[in-house]
Homo-oligomer: A and B are copies of this chain.
Amino acid sequence: MVTLAEVAQHAGVSASTVSYVLSGKRSISATTRQRVEESIRKLGYHPNAGARALASSRSNIIALMVPLRTDMYVPVMMEIAVAVASAARAYGYDILLLTGEEGPDAVRRVTGSGLADAMILMDVELDDERLPLLRGTHQPSVLIGLPADTEGLTCVDLDFRATGALCVEHLAELGHRDIAVIGEAPAVYERHTGFAERTLDGLRTRARELDLRLLHRPCEAGYDAVAATLARVFDERPDTTGFVVQNESALEPLLALLRRWGRAVPEDVSVVAVCPEQVATQASVRLTSVALPAQEMGRRAVEHLVAKLDGRGSDEVVLLAPELTVRASSGPAPARP
């Protein structure tokens, strides 16, 4: 294993000079720099991460806590995680992957041990038990998601309240009066996940303002669960003509079931989805949807974190404005009988 000292010797300079060449924290003459860089290349030198972390108390690692749950739509999480990893690398950081399993202990462990310089938390609940810990430490962190109290926190998230409102407005403009919301699995609401509750709030508020009737039904994944939910919806509100779906795994079953019920999309019923663009465009009907900007959220989270680590940036709540794209799954409400 090649060390700094060996590089220094090979280049005929002192160890500190090599260090300064590497970090650029002091000016180095062009000739020396070149000689050092040459030696580094020749010897195949890589700075030792542990030693560097010890001496500088900087690990250049960002911890990312992803949920372990199986009741969430995983691809979105994965997409965010990958975006975070890519963005972090661009700033010279690596990603430490923590699963939700350990819960708050993971936060303690990571901040306590200096394993990571900062944290990104996903799958935030409204009253998340990890938040007090984050507030109590000086380690920078960013949440992807929005808890109830954002005091002293930096959050990045899609504006799900506005998303809900936007979906309702779209359907209202098309003349729909009875709207059903096919939501995430019940467990997601039971643990008060921020995004789910906020969307619901946006939906309900706007529906009330526009004097629409709104039915919300959580829905497990799987064809049968969707079938049961849909049957219940048409049973309780036969006049339902508008659907808002915030549950990617329910989308394709729903479209299939609507066909089976003899309801044409978009002539008889309209469907608006909250899902990644890819899902919306690859479904059996090209879906009118509000995009879930996974990449952007991941990127923004990293940018804010890096800003904090560099002493720039402050606590801030970044809500990305939702954008609704009209595709083939929504149209004017059918004339009332």
Binary CB contact string for chain A from 41 to 79 against chain B (1 if under 8 A, 0 otherwise): 000111111111110010101001010101000110111
A99 CB-CB contact with B under 8 Å: yes
Of A49, A114, A278, the most chain B CB neighbours within 10 A belong to A49
Residues of A79-109 at the interface with B, using a CB-CB cut-off of 8 Å, are 79, 81-82, 85-86, 89, 94-99, 101-102, 108-109
Nearest-neighbor residue (CB-CB) of A102 within chain B = B89
Give the A interface residue count (CB, 8 A).
Answer: 55
Write the nearest CB–CB distance from A326 to chain B, whole angstroms: 18
- Cβ A99 vs Cβ B85 within 8 A: yes
- Cβ B75 vs Cβ A99 within 8 A: no
- Cβ A99 vs Cβ B108 within 8 A: no
- Cβ A97 vs Cβ B99 within 8 A: no
- Cβ B113 vs Cβ A47 within 8 A: yes
* Residues on B with beta carbons closer than 8 Å to the beta carbon of A50: 49-54, 57, 59, 114
* Residues on B with beta carbons closer than 8 Å to the beta carbon of A57: 50
Docked Cα-Cα span, A51 to B75, in Å, equals: 37
* Residues on B with beta carbons closer than 8 Å to the beta carbon of A101: 86, 89
Docked Cα-Cα span, A325 to B48, in Å, equals: 49
Write the nearest CB–CB distance from A228 to chain B, whole angstroms: 13
Write the nearest CB–CB distance from A276 to chain B, whole angstroms: 11
Nearest-neighbor residue (CB-CB) of A224 within chain B = B282
Docked Cα-Cα span, A52 to B50, in Å, equals: 8
Write the nearest CB–CB distance from A252 to chain B, whole angstroms: 5
- Cβ A282 vs Cβ B99 within 8 A: no
Residues of A275-332 at the interface with B, using a CB-CB cut-off of 8 Å, are 278, 281-284
Query: Which residue from B74, B222, B284 sits with its C-beta under 8 Å from A253?
Result: B284
* Residues on B with beta carbons closer than 8 Å to the beta carbon of A102: 89
Docked Cα-Cα span, A78 to B50, in Å, equals: 28
Query: Which residue from B59, B89, B99 sits with its C-beta under 8 Å from A89?
Result: B99
A189 CB-CB contact with B under 8 Å: no
- Cβ A82 vs Cβ B53 within 8 A: no
* Residues on B with beta carbons closer than 8 Å to the beta carbon of A163: none
Write the nearest CB–CB distance from A294 to chain B, whole angstroms: 11
* 8 more CB-based (< 8 A) A-B contacts, given A50-B53, A223-B283, A256-B256: A46-B108, A46-B113, A47-B113, A50-B50, A50-B114, A95-B96, A95-B98, A253-B284
Mind listing 9 A-B residue pairs with CB under 8 Å? A46-B108, A46-B113, A47-B113, A74-B75, A75-B78, A95-B96, A222-B281, A223-B283, A252-B253
